[in-house]
Structure 1
Amino acid sequence: MPDEDAIVDVFAGSLSKSSDVSECERSIFFRHFVCGLSIQQFICKPIRGRIHHDENDDMCAGRCLGVCCEFQRAGGGQVGGCHRQYIAGQRIGRGAFSDRAVLHHAKWQRAPLSLINMDEFNGKAVKLRFRSARNADTLYDFQVFLAPGDMWTANVSQNGAGLSFLTTADASCTKPAKSVINATPFQTERLDPSITAAERAGETREGYIEIVTMADIPPSASGLFPLIDLNDGVARCSNLTSNTAWTALDVNKAGLSDYATLGMQPPSSGLTANWTIINVPKALSWSGSALALEAQRDGKAARGNLAYFPQIMTTASAAQNYSADPLYAGANPPLAARMSDFPDISTPYVAGVGTANQQAKALKELLAVTSVSNEFWTDKGIAAETDWLFSMPTKRYAMAVNYKAPAASKLVLNTEVDPDALTMDNFLNSMDGYCVTDLALNAYDRESRAYSVIQVIAAQSNKPMHVCSAVSLLNMSEFIEKLVPLTLLASPPVLANGWMKLHANGANGANGAQGKGRPIIGHAFVRAFNPNVAPGTAGNFSVTWPHRLLKN
């Protein structure tokens, strides 16, 4: 949490801070997204639709420098420009807590989820979005409102039609209401219409989750706080006679002051999320925590932009201002965005990031690694199996698939997000789940013998290794059959257990892509069986290891 004396209060569309800068008038950093805490000062003039830099306008004794921008928000009116002091996060970084997170599941059946607000002072308005594994298409999204110190839990399972559905008995407020969430399975309308209904249902059972803190909700006797706060374990989640803030959220507002009136402030850090995958018949489970991303300044947690959007189906205009998704771009975008499609992790969140493309590119560069390493067990004596999970949560903002387009033009690129690495020389189309192919590897057994690839993974590729889709699994039992020792041995041992390093430094890239790495995260999942346990004793066990990710 930032220092208390740096907390910014919002009153009637203006911002105030400590008395030492009271002569500076404070106002809005973004048209709808307001930037949060850090020690940087701004002096801005209202210029609609573009970034404005004015470093010579020194109206606060040399303390105010300028970066300001207004976005035309769908359905919104004009808001006064930025002037004077505003404290803002400068960059997105990795942290123990987050204001944004990514849960990188592969399969989420029998998957309990928990979302924890470790901020003991502020409530949080949080967006969750489930995306498909193949092309990160939106499957399901909703909002959770956490009281200070609150925790929200849910479970994802499969219904009789094969669709994923989420159920929760939690008392925390949600939009839509808990009863609607519990009754609504994941949606297939944005998946490939050319595949069967059963295949589309299957795609709802794999993917990853984006989590974004849209706003803080500080303690107050009015506005949202008394409606979402827990009183003896129960939240109201509805209007009071004299307080209609809950339903007021369902209408898009003209500007920041309207959301301030409802009791919202720019989001701070403090959010965490955990996941568990349970195999009930085999008494196995794997668990981990979400990748934490937070607005930072000088390496410390700072506030991000207020990024609340109503959870409504109304079509949103100028969607490219709020998301880098290539299918939202252009005058006639391939996919019509709804208000509920925002925010996502490409929505502008920190100072100096004026567009969604810039935000997505910054995240891509933050997550890019040149190597991914981990251990594997495939020892047949203990029936061991290892799956490596690879997740690329920024891939959707660099490339998406327009299922309605002819085959030759299905792939839609956003070269502003990934201008160097996105060359078709480095990508392979596998059932429209495009694969990164400019990868190499080294593998070692437990006695440090080195192994190499002798054949390709897929017949249609001449590359030794590739990672497909937004989320994919590599079964190590199958993969190590393609590896042989680099040293010639009369009786080479069978590779069963060891470790492997995947090189993702863009070695075959063009236009300067070499050495920049790929934005890959993930885990290794192990299961095994102890055949020597006593009768009646469970012998199955499971292990989860996060990948070791190196930038250089």
Structure 2
Amino acid sequence: MALSIAAMIGGLGFAGVASAVVIPGGGAANSVDPVVDYADATKNKMALTNATALSVTTGGTGHNLIVPYFTVQDGNMTVIHLTNTDTVNGKAVKVRFRGAANSDDLLDFQVLMSPGDVWTAAVTAAADGTAQLSTADGTCTVPSLKGVTQKFDTRRLPTSVGAAGTREGYVEIFNMADISGKDLYTVGTTTSTKSALYTAIKHVNGVAPCTATVIEPIMLKKDHTEETAVKAGFNTPTTGLMGDWYIINVAKTTTFSGAATAVTAVVSGTDSTAAKGNFVVFPQLADAVGATIDNFTADPLLRTANIGTTKTAAGVASVAPTTVPAIEAAFYDLPDLSTPYVVAGGTATAPITQAEILTGALAVKTITNQYATDAGISAKTDWVFSMPTRRYSVALDYRQTTPSRVYTNGIVGDTDPATAGVQAGAYFHASNTSLDSGKICVTSDKQAFYDREETTKTAGAVFSPGAVDKARFCGETSILSFGTSTSGVLGAALAAQFTETAAYTNGWGVIDVTNGNVGLPILGSAFIKLTNPQASAGVSGNYGITWPHRFTK
């Protein structure tokens, strides 16, 4: 979102009508490069969009990335590394930070990566406790972030939450378009050269020029067509983004690290070949998108249609909310994970279909991992659960007198794979969600905890807060801390739950999220902290372990 960032550039006065588009590449079959023709406007084409499905992998490369968790709680800082493994083309990338409680936008901006480029940034806590982003990286960004400490914005959070709501969450990263590295352009009097945009973002002797007079008119344009996009240097987005993260606590000499989850646009559900998505470059402007917003997002707080304050288990939303839309979308709200990328755009149901495809790709039915709480080594364990697509099914409208859930119609899975497409069940609906302390919750079906000697607990103990007998996911990114009723490994506070005595000292567990046989879209890992009691004075004896969750579909 970056309300503060958008305000920096929202008044620059670049020409363009209040419009926006999702553009599929219209090139020839099997085309790779764009076609640029200065004599015949009809021949200007991006490479053919041929993706129709999405594939999800942890630790791979993809078109889009999800960092399941960031935190600045309890002295933590989070560092993100974003790599363009494409050594031919640049990438026009959108980065968005969302809050842990209800996925509210906190900060977003654009990163223009040259071929083989790496961009890094750190998220820390400011003196007033607000999360802030800083980078010394020279990769081009819109707006410029090098050497600027940018605070996260609280204007879409409840006033009662304020800065606290910025300290945990997750990160969405999108390849909006490739920046072609081919010699196809006329720049000045030189023909068959690289585009001015490519030249503006390409490192020269280790330094990216970041020529603002070239970048800003292109990246802030509201009404690109396929012709203007091609002539500007764009091509349909391809795979190649790789992401890594680490959480470090200097005072506690502990580090956790992992790889971002990669989402790849592929040819089909049966052909996992990486393909080309739609062009989805939207300007980083505070101007309102207007009446066409339903064509670009499934977020129920931004939409005007196909939403309701209740939703059946079959996915039918009804009873329109009193305020439509709850939030007036700005251009900087786009793209998001529901913006049509592998489906044809131009309709109000296209983003719902996109969100349904991604939610289905992320959906799992069981979550398994280890835990340790052995007092002899001061062991602590947190399990992180991140649901990056829940926002597109249900969101919390703070602007009502009593904050209430707003649902998007549809976004369903198959309850019976044997009859695919016949029996539909919503991932999130009025019967499986609830509100608790200003957060939307969904409850697991059941859980089982095992010690290391084959003993099992499946019932009888409760989780706190709330004394519930099943694990709950309260918040978009929630934390389950083992063997404690207070603070866990990560110092989580926004969406934390505690096992107390519900599990053994050490062992493993499995949480069932069958959810009517459609599963839930969940990512995450176990974070385990240990201390060596034999470490001598002056020697760090703290260790951090990160184990990705194991899932069944």
TM-score by length of 2: 0.78
Structure 1 equivalent of residue 502 of structure 2 = 483
Deviation string 1:387-439 (CA, Å, 9 cap, x unpaired) is 000000001101111111122x6211113224624333322211221111142
Structure 2 vs 1, CA of residues 145 and 40 (structure 1 numbering), >3 Å: closer, same or farther? closer
Partner of 1:483: helix, strand, or coil?
A: coil
Separation in structure 2 between the aligned mates of residue 303 and residue 225 of structure 1, nearest angstrom = 19
Structure 2 equivalent of residue 32 of structure 1 = 22
Structure 1 equivalent of residue 227 of structure 2 = 257
1:216-295 matches, within 5 Å, as 216-219=178-181, 220=183, 221-239=194-212, 244-295=214-265
1:349-498 matches, within 5 Å, as 349-351=341-343, 355-407=350-402, 410-418=404-412, 420-458=426-464, 463-478=469-484, 479-483=498-502, 495-498=504-507
Structure 2 vs 1, CA of residues 31 and 82 (structure 1 numbering), >3 Å: closer, same or farther? farther
Asked whether the equivalents of residues 32 and 255 of structure 1 are also in contact (C-alpha less than 8 Å), the reply is no
Structure 1 residue 468, shift from structure 2 partner: 1.0
Structure 2 residue 169 is matched with structure 1 residue 207:
yes
Partner of 1:404: helix, strand, or coil?
A: coil
Partner of 2:107: helix, strand, or coil?
A: strand
Structure 2 residue 152 is matched with structure 1 residue 186:
yes
Structure 2 vs 1, CA of residues 414 and 301 (structure 1 numbering), >3 Å: closer, same or farther? same
Structure 2 vs 1, CA of residues 35 and 515 (structure 1 numbering), >3 Å: closer, same or farther? farther
Q: Which moved more, 1:312-321 or 1:287-296?
A: 312-321
Partner of 1:446: helix, strand, or coil?
A: coil
Asked whether the equivalents of residues 224 and 246 of structure 1 are also in contact (C-alpha less than 8 Å), the reply is no
Deviation string 1:133-159 (CA, Å, 9 cap, x unpaired) is 000000000000000000001111111
Aligned residues: 459
Separation in structure 2 between the aligned mates of residue 268 and residue 311 of structure 1, nearest angstrom = 21
Structure 2 equivalent of residue 501 of structure 1 = 510
Structure 1 residue 330, shift from structure 2 partner: 1.0
Separation in structure 1 between the aligned mates of residue 128 and residue 431 of structure 2, nearest angstrom = 39
Structure 1 residue 222, shift from structure 2 partner: 2.6
Deviation string 1:8-28 (CA, Å, 9 cap, x unpaired) is xxxxxxxxxxxxxxxxxxxxx
Structure 1 residue 480, shift from structure 2 partner: 4.7
1:11-410 matches, within 5 Å, as 32-35=22-25, 86-95=48-57, 96-108=60-72, 109-178=76-145, 182-193=148-159, 195=160, 199-219=161-181, 220=183, 221-239=194-212, 244-297=214-267, 298-317=271-290, 318-330=292-304, 332-351=324-343, 355-407=350-402, 410=404
Which residue type is aligned with residue 163 of structure 1? T
Deviation string 1:251-303 (CA, Å, 9 cap, x unpaired) is 21241211111100001000011111001011100000111001001111111
Structure 2 vs 1, CA of residues 38 and 200 (structure 1 numbering), >3 Å: closer, same or farther? farther
Q: Which moved more, 1:202-211 or 1:326-335?
A: 326-335
Structure 1 equivalent of residue 530 of structure 2 = 528
Which residue type is aligned with residue 350 of structure 1? V
Structure 2 vs 1, CA of residues 527 and 458 (structure 1 numbering), >3 Å: closer, same or farther? closer
Separation in structure 2 between the aligned mates of residue 86 and residue 471 of structure 1, nearest angstrom = 36
Asked whether the equivalents of residues 387 and 521 of structure 2 are also in contact (C-alpha less than 8 Å), the reply is yes
Which residue type is aligned with residue 374 of structure 1? N
Which residue type is aligned with residue 454 of structure 1? G
Separation in structure 1 between the aligned mates of residue 47 and residue 173 of structure 2, nearest angstrom = 29
Separation in structure 1 between the aligned mates of residue 138 and residue 298 of structure 2, nearest angstrom = 34
Separation in structure 1 between the aligned mates of residue 396 and residue 260 of structure 2, nearest angstrom = 26
Structure 1 residue 250, shift from structure 2 partner: 1.4
Q: Report percent identity of matched pairs.
A: 34
TM-score by length of 1: 0.78
Deviation string 1:421-461 (CA, Å, 9 cap, x unpaired) is 43333222112211111421111111111112314325757
Separation in structure 1 between the aligned mates of residue 220 and residue 299 of structure 2, nearest angstrom = 24
Which residue type is aligned with residue 517 of structure 2? G
Structure 2: gaps of 5 or more residues: 1-19, 32-40, 184-193, 306-323, 413-424, 485-497
Structure 1: gaps of 5 or more residues: 1-29, 42-78, 485-494, 507-513
Structure 2 vs 1, CA of residues 153 and 314 (structure 1 numbering), >3 Å: closer, same or farther? same
Asked whether the equivalents of residues 191 and 200 of structure 1 are also in contact (C-alpha less than 8 Å), the reply is yes
Higher strand share: 2
Structure whose alpha-carbon radius of gyration is higher: 1
